[in-house]
Amino acid sequence: MVPFALVQLGAENLRGYSNTSLHLRPLTILVGENNQGKSSLLKMLDWLMRTPEEFWTGDRRLDNKEFDFWYPANHTQKKARRFWIEVRFLDGRTARPFAAKYGDSILLRMAIGATDQACRLNVGPPRRGEKHDPKAAKLLQAIRSSFQLFFLPPVRDGRSSAFADKATKQVREQIRRKLDHTRQGGTTTEYRHAKQIIDKMKAIVRSNTTALVDGDSGLLATMLKESEVRLDLRPGDVFGMLEKALTVYLSTGKHDELKVLPYEVGNGLQSLVDISLSMDEILSSENAARTVLIIEEPEAFLHPAAQRFFMTKLRKSISQMAAAILTTHSPIIVDEAKFEEVVVVRNQRHFEPVVDDSKRASINTSLLTSATAEILFARTICFVEGEGDRAFFRTLFRRIRASTPNRIEFDGLIFQATGGCTFFAPWLRLARAYTHSGDEVFTPLWIMDGDAAVHNGERPILRLYKECGFHLGSAESECVVRFGDLPWEANNRGLLASNDANRIFGSRGGFLFCCDLEWALFNGAAQVPESIKEPLEAVGVPTNGSALECARRLGSKIGTGKAQDRSQKQPYIRAAIAEHISLTSLPPEIYGAVMHILKGCFGESDASRIAREAGIASAS
C-alpha cells in the first residue's frame, strides 16, 4: 500500500511565481497562454524527486545551472523562496516519526538561500530561524520511495534512444530472459540456437587462425607459436549484440507493407506512439499505482481524432496510477475533460475551478465542448445571444485588430454565443468559477437584446443577476422593469431607451441593446441609412422600404416584439455586414457596444485611445 497521498504543490518567490499552489487530482489539466507558468511547478517537482539523496547529506548547495533554474525572474528582495509538497498519511506507522497520525496532512518544504545558493528541507508550517532538518530529508526519501515521476516533455522524437528503448523494451526483456541459462526448467530453444550460432562463429575464427608469429627463434617466439586467437563468446553475450541491432519498423496501413522506420512517419504518429508506449510501460510495471504521469502538450502534432484517442486511453489508465497531470493548449483536450479537472494558469498563478456542487460541475462540463472550450484560453470573454451576433462582432473586431497592430490584448478576446437571453447565467457562472480571493482570471462581458428585460414577462436579466449573485437594489430593479415594459414600436425603442439600464449593467460587464443588433444597425432611422445600404446589398439583402421593414427582414423584433418568419438571420450575413460597415461611422448603438468591449479589454483609460488608433467613430 502507498503510505501517502499527494495533496498539493506550491511555490513562493521561485522562477516567475510569487505565490501559487496546485491541488492534485487523479487527472489535472493545466491550460493557459504561453509563458504563464504551466510547466514550472511540475519541473520543480521533477527536480526534487530526481535529486540524489547524497545531496541532502552533503552541503546541499545548488550549482550555477541549478540556481539559474530556481532563481526568480522578479525581485524578491529578502522574501523566502520555497517549494513545498503537501502529503496526507495513509499509514499510521509511517506518520508516527513525523509526529503525525493516519489521515493527517503535512508540508515538506524546500527553501533556497537568497545569496549562498544553499538549500534546506523542513517539515510543517514555516518558522523563524529554521535550519536544515534531517527528519525532513527522511520524509522526502519516504515520498520518493512511494512515488515515481514519469515526465514526458513536449518534444517526442522517433530518432531518440528513449523512443527506441520504449519500443523495444518488451522484446529485449523476453530475449534477455530466454538467453539466461540460469533459469530453471532447462535450456530454452533460443539459448540452444544462440549456442549453435556461436559454435559456428567459433569455427569460422578457428579456420582463419594462425600462429601469432611466424618465426621460431627465441623463447618468446616459441611461446607465441603455440598460442592462438579464439572467439570468447557465450549465449548471454549474444543479447548485447542483438540489443544494439534491434530496430523498430512501423506499419501505418496497406500502403506501406514493407513498413517504415519510426522517424520516417509524421511527427504526430511519432508522438502518439511514444505516449502510448510510455503509458503501457507504466501500466505493465509493478509501480503503476505509485506513478505520477506528467505529459506536456500531449496534443503536439496530433490530429483532433488522435487527441480524442489519447484522452480515451488516458481516462482508462489513470485509475491504475497515482495521478496524471497534463499541460495543454488544445480545446479538444478540454472537451474530453471534466470541468473540475481543468485549472487555468494566468500570470504565474493557478486558478482552480470552484465546484459548488456536482450538478453545477456537470453543467459546466457540458458547456466546455471543443467549440466552446477556447474561452478557457481567453482573457476577455464576450457572451452574445446567437451565432449571428458572434459572427458580427468577431468579424468587426478582426478588422479593428488589423487597424491597431501589436495590441496583444486582442489575442485574448473571445466571443461566445449562449443560445439566447435565458442562457447567459450558466456561462457567466462558468467564467466566474475561476475567481479566487477577488481576483478574476477572466473579464466576462455580455451583450443582450432588449427582450432580456421582458421576454414574455420572465425578465431573464433579473434572473441572471439572482443566479450569479449580483446585487440589484429595488430602484435599479424598477428601472429594468420600466425599460422592459416599453412597447416595441420604433419611437419607444430608440437610441436612448436603454441608457439608464446600461448604467446599471455596465458595472457587471453588461450591455443591453434597446431592441436588438439588427435594429441597432439602422441607427433608429426612418429610412435605410446609406452607411448600411452597401453592406446589405453586398450580401443580397434587399434595402427597399423603411428601415423598420429592412431590420425585420434581417430578423429584428422591432415593431412587434417577435421576429418575422423566414427572416435572414444567417451568421454569414452578419459577418458580411461587419466586413463592409464603416468603422469611422458606426451606428451609435453598435459604437456603444464596441466601446463597451474595448473597455473590457483595455480598461477605461485606454479604450478611447485604442478607438482613435483604429479610426472608430459614431455616425452621429
Q: How confident is the model at residue 467 (pLDDT cuts 50, 70, 90)?
A: very high
How confident is the model at residue 378, as a pLDDT? Answer: 93
Q: What are phi and psi of 346, to 5 degrees?
A: -140, 130
The residue with greater pLDDT, 197 or 598, is 598
Q: Of 238-247, 367-376, 586-595, which range is least confident? A: 238-247
Q: Of 101-110, 466-475, 516-525, which range is least confident? A: 516-525
Q: How confident is the model at residue 156 (pLDDT cuts 50, 70, 90)?
A: low
Helix ranges (H only) for 468-585 are 474-484, 499-505, 517-520, 530-538, 547-553, 571-580
Mean predicted lDDT score pLDDT of the chain: 87
How confident is the model at residue 249, as a pLDDT? Answer: 66
Cα end-to-end span (Å), the chain: 74
How confident is the model at residue 251, as a pLDDT? Answer: 64
The residue with greater pLDDT, 116 or 203, is 203
Evaluate the CA torsion angle 160, 166, 168, 172 in order and state its sign. positive
How confident is the model at residue 154, as a pLDDT? Answer: 79
Helix ranges (H only) for 10-160 are 40-50, 54-57, 64-70, 92-95, 134-146
Give percent above pLDDT 90 in the chain. Answer: 55
Q: What's the whole-model pTM score?
A: 0.83
Tell me which residue of 363, 319, 303, 306 sits closest to 339, measured CA to CA: 363
| 241, pLDDT greater than 80 | no
Q: What are the tens digits of pLDDT across the range 307-343? A: 998 999 999 999 999 999 999 999 999 999 999 999 9
The residue with greater pLDDT, 341 or 256, is 341
The residue with greater pLDDT, 421 or 2, is 421
Euclidean distance between CA atoms 474 and 480, whole angstroms: 10
Task: Return the half-sphere exposure (C-beta side, CA atoms, 13 A cut-off) of residue 159.
Answer: 5
| 55, pLDDT greater than 60 | yes
Q: How confident is the model at residue 74 (pLDDT cuts 50, 70, 90)?
A: low
Q: How confident is the model at residue 268 (pLDDT cuts 50, 70, 90)?
A: low
